Amino acid sequence: MNDRTHILIIEDDESISLGLKLNLEAEGFSVTTVSDGDAGLEEFRTREPDLVILDIMLPKQNGFEVIQGIRSSGSRVPVIMLSALGTETDKVMGLNLGAEDYITKPFGLAELLARINAVLRRSRESNEARAAAERPVRVGDLVIDPKKREVTRGGTPVELTATEFDVLWCLAANPGTALSREDIQTRVWGPKHHGTLRTIDNFVLQLRSKLEPDPTNPTHLLTVRGVGYRFGS
């Protein structure tokens, strides 16, 4: 990791905090330490770090309250919780509140470094996947922007209903992949939806009429016989 990877340590035991800071800085991380829950949340909000190492038994606000504050802000920053509390209940509570990992004291530095690197790697991969999922799809003169939920053809906006867009994006986000009607229904309406699969055919027909130059000979919304549909270029 390079020195741009910033770790916030929220730990009231000065010897542990200082030891972590020195060792993590030696590994190339940028490290900030604070000793209570209030200061931890304030530092987090001032400069959102790349990773938080969070003790549970803290003054002012405990670690469970701190991670609730972090997650309630909408942040996905990974959190590793440290605690002398090794019970399964405490671990489950920490993970349910949004922690990526939970380490019981005492712990070895090598183990902690391995956990940090694994969590940061997963976070980076997740962020890259999320960014890729939000990138517009451009095929010919058709542009589908999932972030804005907008579609243009030849630069002209195409009016779609919310569900039409969802069906379109379900296919466009998986270009070249044949999706069954069941797949599309589950992804768009959820697994508990009990509507008829014929609804998918109707939505595809509506989308073709709005997006295809020749709806009877589609080039983007293609039928895969015996399966369902796929988005083609």
In a shared domain, residues 144 and 222: yes
Least confident piece of the model among 3-12, 134-143, 161-170, 190-199? 190-199
**CA-CA-CA-CA dihedral for 147, 4, 34, 27, to nearest 10:** 130
Domain with residue 65: its CATH number is 3.40.50.2300
Report the CATH number that the domain containing residue 162 is assigned in CATH. 1.10.10.10
Q: How many other β-carbons are positioned within 10 Å of the β-carbon of residue 21?
A: 17
Residue where one domain finishes, among candidates 132, 152, 186: 132
**Tally of domains in the chain:** 2
Q: Is the predicted pLDDT of residue 2 greater than 50, yes or no? A: no
Burial class (CB in 10 A: 0-12, 13-18, 19+), 161: exposed
Listed residues 99, 117, 132: the one ending a domain: 132
Q: How far is CA 130 from the centre of its chain?
A: 6
Residue 1 domain-assigned?
no
Residues spanned by the domain of 144: 137-231
Both 85 and 151 in one domain: the answer is: no
Q: What gap in Å lies between CA 189 and CA 196, rounded to an integer?
A: 12
- What is the rounded distance in angstroms from the CA atom of residue 216 to the CA atom of residue 209? 9
Task: Give residue-wise pLDDT tens across range 65-81.
Answer: 999 999 998 888 999 99
What pLDDT shows up at residue 93? 87
Whole-number Å distance between alpha carbons of 53 and 57: 13
First to last CA, the chain: 39
Q: How far apart are CA 175 and CA 138, in angstroms?
A: 11
CA distances from 95 to 71, 82, 103, 128, 140 (A): 12, 12, 11, 23, 45
Q: Are 184 and 176 in contact (CB under 8 A)?
A: no
12 and 115 housed in the same domain = yes
Structure tokens at 98: 């949004």
3-class DSSP assignment, residue 120: helix
pLDDT confidence of residue 1: 44
Does the pLDDT of residue 3 top 70, yes or no? no
Q: What is the pLDDT of residues 191-233, one digit of tens each?
A: 777 678 888 999 999 999 999 999 999 999 999 999 999 998 7
Q: Are residues 12 and 40 in the same domain?
A: yes
For 85-112, what is each residue's pLDDT tens digit? 767 788 888 888 999 999 988 888 898 9
Of 88, 112, 132, the position where a domain reaches its end is 132
In angstroms, rounded to a whole number, what is the distance separating the alpha carbons of residues 134 and 181? 24
User: What is the per-residue DSSP string for 7-22?
Assistant: EEEE-S-HHHHHHHHH
